[in-house]
Amino acid sequence: MKAFSFVSRELGDQKDAAMFDLRGYIDAHTVIEFERAVNASIDGGVKSLVLDLSGLSYISSAGIGAMMGLARKLSQRGGDLVLLSPTQKVFAILEGLGFTKIFKIASSETEALEKLNIKVS
Amino acid sequence: MSIPWAIYFAILVAMGVWVIRLKAVEKEQAQALEKIERERRAVFMFLNNLGERLTTSRIAMEPALQIIIEFIVDRADAEAGAIFLLDPADNQLAARVVQGMFPLLNPTTERVLTKQKYLTERVKRERIPLGQGVIGEAALTGKPILVADAANDPRVPNVTLGYLTIRSIMAVPLRARGVVTGVVAVVNKREEAVFTQADLDLLLMLADQAASTAEMVKLYNEQAEKQRIEQELRIAHDFQRMLLPSECPDVPGYEIAAFSRPALEVGGDYYDFFWVDPEQRHLGIVIADVSGKGIPGAFVMAMVRCTLRVVARGRLSPREVLVEANSRLYADTKENVFVTMTYGILDTQRRTFRFSRAGHEPLVTVKYDSGAVRLTSPDGIALGMVDNDLFQTTEEAELHLEPGEAVVLYTDGVVEAMDPEAREYGQKRFFDFLVAQRHSPPQEIIENALKDIEAFTRGHPQHDDITLVALRVRTDIMEVRVQPVVSAAPTG
């Protein structure tokens, strides 16, 4: 299995939201690939992101730091970040760090879209 | 490599001086804070500037390629030439060096390009997607291209300005280990002549030389970079060892031991002990895990350590200390750096351990007789990530310790240690182990824990640091003077 991969697509009717389906794990090495992908998306005008974490087996502190940076960057641009369906393991890591209070977490795509105020026609 | 060494030595000396000064400063509580803030910023700026200068130990690619393109243009009897390198990140080609009046390859209406200097700069800014035009096609197909009659070739732009008109052009891919890394191109044979197959054959041979030179420079720089990183890690490693206590405090009635082992040369873990009050009744105990590694990680660790030592002085509420530390670290650290920490205060007389947990692993205690395990995990957020409005939600817990009871603090590297099948050592095995070891002194508990982790991981390389702090109330503590305390310590 590849250490880290992702599939991305646009969300909603506006072109400023995107969903990243993350697979594998994010550690100090794969975080670079992750950051490159989301930054390219932000540079392309995306303001709100949903990260589908259901296929992510593990995230290291470097990965969590990157997500925190991402959340801050998006909110500065008037957007937001929502984490979708983290596995038990990843949720436990976030919870231990106290970050479930910081990140918006959704358990379905509909809920994620609601948290971002995105309308789908 | 003598210049970087001198700079590294300067870093080490500067950091060493800084640390020694901090130690002195800690004694003068009143002016300490302001002074530390100032020094911290100075060291930070110093490191930032150094970071920029360190890159100058590389061989610059451009001068090496410039020599090659001058040689090629001369031998090919061309009016101009350029070497384009492919950026694998976006699959676009850009001219790294240009010789002569090399024309723009994308159509333009700009008319300011009469000076060679401006034209060269402009050509270097041009980005050519893989597959586009003569250059893009040569890179994509990996095949050389000879256009003898450019005026009638759709791949070549029509430029009306006389000196920028392309009459004929040759483009040859550059390869390193079979992969196309760029393209060398020459335009317009001198004396109004036209490039022929013989010219192309010559260019093919020269291009091969260009490619291997570029590759050699790249490999050299990669090697230099590798050495630079290794040196950086070694220095950060030494620096970090300096920051850990050289020995555990000797506290009557208690036994204390600690251990830290970085996974790589430099880790992000640390532990610390210090007396909170001059009476030496309250002992501050810290265990922490900084999310960054290398010099930045070691630097954040140094920052956290000194911040904590300063704000902990005289404060009997760990929560209050962490809130204060967070406000400083939140302002000073980068947005993607955070620190998990458990900070506790052992009241050596009341025999209590009061602590807060900034996103760190839970605190575990094991009773001497029953082997009962207590896991305490008050709410808390990692340091440096959120402002104090949110960080205020961090809680505090207080445990009363029985004679013989052990308190164990650890970092996630312990429970996340992996065996070759990617199974984790895990809390359960760790806690079972602690129960079995509860009659041993802390030093032995730690030594045996490391053996147990090693037996579990079976030599599988670990990616995270392992840090353990163990404290045990002596079973004969009652013989030590224990004074009843009337008023509880103030809380934050």
Q: Evaluate whether B371 touches B443 at the Cβ level (below 8 Å).
A: no
* Domain presence at residue B243: no
Query: Cα–Cα distance between B255 and B239 in angstroms, integer?
Result: 27
* Domain presence at residue B67: yes
Best mean pLDDT range from A47-51, B120-124, B219-223: A47-51
Query: Cα–Cα distance between A54 and A84 in angstroms, integer?
Result: 7
The pLDDT value given to residue B369: 95
Give the closest of A27, A66, A96 to B336, CB-based.
A66
pLDDT band of residue B224 (cuts 50, 70, 90) is: confident
pLDDT at B48 over 50: no
A45-56: per-residue pLDDT in tens? 899 999 999 999
Instruction: Go through the domains of chain A in sequence order and give each one's CATH number.
Output: 18-84+101-108 (3.30.750.24)
The pLDDT value given to residue A60: 83
B155-208: per-residue pLDDT in tens? 887 766 666 788 899 999 998 777 899 999 999 999 888 898 888 887 887 787
- The domain that contains B210 carries what CATH number? 3.30.450.40
For chain B, what percent of residues have pLDDT higher than 70? 80
pLDDT band of residue B125 (cuts 50, 70, 90) is: confident
The pLDDT value given to residue B487: 45
Q: Which B residues, 238 through 277, put their C-beta within 8 Å of a C-beta on chain A?
A: 268
Let me know whether B342 and B359 are in one domain: yes
- Positive or negative: CA dihedral B151, B154, B156, B157: positive
Other Cβ atoms within 10 Å of B456 Cβ, number:
18
pTM exceeds 0.95 for this model = no
Let me know whether B177 and B254 are in one domain: no
Residues of A in contact with B359 (CB under 8 A): 96-99
Mean pLDDT of A3-7: 87
pLDDT band of residue B430 (cuts 50, 70, 90) is: very high
Let me know whether B76 and B194 are in one domain: yes
Q: Which of A61, A70, A72, A76 to mutate to test the interface with B (most CBs of B within 10 A)?
A: A61
Looking at the complex, report in whole angstroms how far the Cα of residue B463 sits from the nearest Cα belonging to chain A: 10
Chain B residue whose CA is closest to A70: B336
pLDDT at B459 over 80: yes
* Domain presence at residue B490: no
CB contact under 8 A, A96 and B390: no
CB contact under 8 A, B386 and A102: yes
Let me know whether B402 and B425 are in one domain: yes
Q: Which residue range is the domain that position B108 belongs to?
A: 61-221
pLDDT band of residue B77 (cuts 50, 70, 90) is: confident
Overall size of chain A counted in residues: 121
pLDDT at B150 over 80: yes
Among the candidates B205, B221, B237, a domain finishes at B221
For chain B, what percent of residues have pLDDT higher than 90? 43
A80-91: per-residue pLDDT in tens? 999 999 999 899
CB contact under 8 A, B380 and A101: no
Give the closest of B289, B336, B390 to A101, CB-based.
B390
Interface of A with B (CB under 8 A): 27-28, 36, 60-62, 64-66, 68-69, 72, 96-99, 101-102
Let me know whether B178 and B65 are in one domain: yes
Residues of B in contact with A60 (CB under 8 A): 463
The pLDDT value given to residue A53: 96
Considering only CA atoms, which of B67, B76, B71 is closest in space to residue B168?
B76
Q: Evaluate whether B80 touches B188 at the Cβ level (below 8 Å).
A: yes
Question: What is the number of structural domains in chain B?
Answer: 3
B342-390: per-residue pLDDT in tens? 999 999 999 999 999 999 999 999 999 999 999 999 999 999 988 899 9
Let me know whether B106 and B33 are in one domain: no
pLDDT at B279 over 90: yes
Looking at the complex, report in whole angstroms how far the Cα of residue B394 sits from the nearest Cα belonging to chain A: 9
The pLDDT value given to residue B488: 43
pLDDT at B484 over 70: no
CB contact B389 to A (< 8 Å): no
A10-57: per-residue pLDDT in tens? 887 777 899 999 999 898 778 889 999 999 999 988 999 999 999 998
pLDDT at B490 over 50: no
Let me know whether B217 and B278 are in one domain: no
CB contact B415 to A (< 8 Å): no
